[in-house]
Amino acid sequence: MPRVTIIGAGRVGSTLAQRLLEQYNVDVVLLDIAPDLPRAIALDLMQARALGGHDRQIIGTNDYWDTAGSDVIVIAAGLPRKPGMTREDLISVNARIVIDATRQALARSPEAALLVITNPLDVMTYLAWRASGLPPHRVMGMAGVLDTARFRHFIAEALAVSWHDVSALVIGTHGDTMVPLPRYATVHGIPLTELLEEEAIAEIVHRTQFGGAELVQLFRNGSAYQAPAAAAAQMVACLLGQRRQLLPASVPLQGAYGVEDLCIGVPIYLGAQGVEQVVELDLTKPERDAFERSVTALQEAIKTASYLVD
Ligand code: APR
């Protein structure tokens, strides 16, 4: 049975554990630094098994040795945002957590693929990649799938149609400079630009860019976790070979899009091998400029933290 370790048994980690167990037929190890918490969640989920129709195992632990032999390591440990904070405000505290978790987990599962959820996402993915020693195709950050889900939701809502009809794409960083691409959005094959006025599209783009902040405001003490967990579960299913998808993710770039030594959201083919291919889009000048603003913002954020893995 495939084995997935989730580091961080908070709201995102525990929701992801539940999704993986119930939908994707995998065993889960849930690790957290907090005493008893992962054991409590695992016990609760094991008891729910008798009501949920699956027979998978979940272990809750504080000990990295229990994670040995995992196929996928997911990092969801760290602090979430509070109202008024940007994702970048979390850099220094979360960087130390992510680097330590990566090193400890990979030492016990050297063949695993690594999926990062902790924010600021692209910076944490980059640091985790550097700390892991893994080849670039085995490391990725979950954000594009989530941002795209938000974009699709807002489009579906504006047109009062089912999300089933809506296909869309968001690239760039998982921050205020993210790049939703209306030119690549369609509703049952019809370009979004033929269905909505420019102003309405701009509103949807803006709400997507600040979709996370809107929820931080509403939650008051924490950030989104249902959609992030659902997005991560989808990516784990790809890594376990249950499906192969073309989706956006933050991955180490080594020349694609003219970017070197940086993790940022781009479309990729994700499958059992990991990042099987980066898809290079033929961006227009404004799209390219927006993507480059995203790259610049990220380079600055990475500068403040990369000494931690050097
Ligand atoms: N090792 C393991 N677990 C840790 C460590 C560590 N060094 N440090 C913190 N944790 C755990 C906390 O004990 C907590 O249980 O990480 C968990 C984080 O859970 P929450 O506070 O509920 O945060 P959550 O909403 O799950 O978000 C986690 O994902 O989406 C991002 O921005 C979000 O960076 C945040 C992360």
CA of 121 to the centre of ligand 1 (A): 13
pLDDT (0 to 100) of residue 304? 86
pLDDT at 52: 81
pLDDT band per the 50, 70, 90 thresholds, residue 242: very high
Q: Check if 38 has its Cβ closer than 6 Å to any atom of ligand 1.
A: no
Q: Residue ranges per domain, the chain?
A: 3-141, 144-309
Q: How many residues does the chain have?
A: 310
pLDDT of res. 89: 83
Query: CA 212 to CA 64: how far, in whole Å?
Result: 31
Asked whether 229 lines ligand 1 (CB < 6 A), one says no
Quickly tell me which residue has 């998808």 as its tokens. 245
Query: In the numeric block, which tokens belong to residue 259?
Result: 């970017």
Taking the centre of ligand 1 as the mean of its atom positions, its distance from the CA of residue 136, in whole angstroms, is 24
Cβ(208) – ligand 1 distance below 6 Å: no
66 burial level (CB within 10 Å; 0-12, 13-18, 19+): middle
Return the ligand 1 atom nearest residue 77 CA: 16
- Per-residue pLDDT, averaged over 93-119, amounts to 97
CATH of 3-141, one of 3.40.980.10, 3.40.50.720, 3.40.50.300, 3.20.20.220: 3.40.50.720
CATH architecture type of domain 144-309: Alpha-Beta Complex (3.90)
Which helix (H) or strand (E) is 78 found in, with range? none
10 Cβ inside 6 Å of ligand 1: yes
Task: Tell how far the Cα of 32 is from the centroid of ligand 1, in angstroms.
Answer: 8
For residue 233, what pLDDT is reported? 98
- Residue nearest atom 18 of ligand 1, based on CA coordinates: 10
- Nearest CA, atom 33, ligand 1: 80
Dig out the tokens for 6 from the structure.
């989730």
pLDDT of residue 86: 81
**For range 263-284, the mean pLDDT:** 98
pLDDT at 49: 93
Q: Is 238 in the pocket of ligand 1 (CB under 6 A)?
A: no
Atom number of ligand 1 nearest to Cα 96: 7
Report residue 25's pLDDT band, with 50, 70 and 90 as the boundaries: confident
Find the mean pLDDT for residues 33-39: 98
pLDDT at 140: 98
pLDDT value for 82: 80
Residue 114 identity (one-letter amino acid)? L
The Å distance, Cα 8 to ligand 1 centre, comes to 5
Mean pLDDT, range 205-232, rounded to an integer: 95
**pLDDT the model gives residue 307:** 87
Task: Show Cβ contacts of residue 309 under 8 Å, excluding neighbours closer than 6 positions.
Answer: 99, 127, 130, 131
Task: Read off the amino acid at residue 279.
Answer: V
Is it true that 3-141 and 144-309 share their CATH fold?
no
Closest residue by CA, ligand 1 atom 16: 77
pLDDT of residue 258: 96
pLDDT of residue 153: 98
pLDDT confidence tier of residue 137, bands split at 50, 70 and 90: very high
Give me the pLDDT at residue 287, please.
97
How distant, in Å, are the alpha carbons of 24, 65, 123, 281 from that of 284?
Answer: 38, 49, 26, 9
Residue 32 CB less than 6 A away from ligand 1: yes
CB 216 less than 6 A from any atom of ligand 1: no
Q: Is 76 in the pocket of ligand 1 (CB under 6 A)?
A: yes
Ligand 1 centroid distance, CA of 113 (Å): 20
271 CA → ligand 1 middle, Å: 27
pLDDT above 90 covers what percent of the chain? 89
Give the pLDDT confidence of 112-129 residue by residue, as tens digits.
Answer: 999 999 999 999 999 999
Q: What gap in Å lies between CA 24 and CA 18, rounded to an integer?
A: 10
Mean pLDDT of the chain: 96
- Tell me the pTM: 0.97
Residue 254: predicted pLDDT? 95
**CB-side neighbour CA atoms (13 Å) of 141:** 30
Confidence of residue 164 (pLDDT cuts 50, 70, 90): very high
Segment 276-287 mean pLDDT: 98
Phi-psi region of 231 (alpha: psi -120 to 50; beta: other; left: phi over 0): alpha
| Chain segment 50-86, per-residue pLDDT in tens | 998 889 999 999 999 999 999 999 999 998 888 888 8
| Sign of the torsion angle spanned by Cα atoms 279, 285, 290, 294 | positive
Give CA–CA dist 53/21, Å, rounded. 10
pLDDT at 6: 98
Peptide bond into 286 cis (omega under 30): no
More confident residue, 300 or 168: 168
Look up residue 99 and give its two tokens. Answer: 């680097």
Nearest CA to ligand 1 atom 31: 118
Looking at residues 244-254, what average pLDDT do you find? 98
Q: Give the distance (Å) from ligand 1 centre to CA of residue 229.
A: 13
Q: Show which residues are catalytic.
A: 174
Does residue 117's CB lie within 6 angstroms of at least one atom of ligand 1? yes
For range 193-215, the mean pLDDT: 97
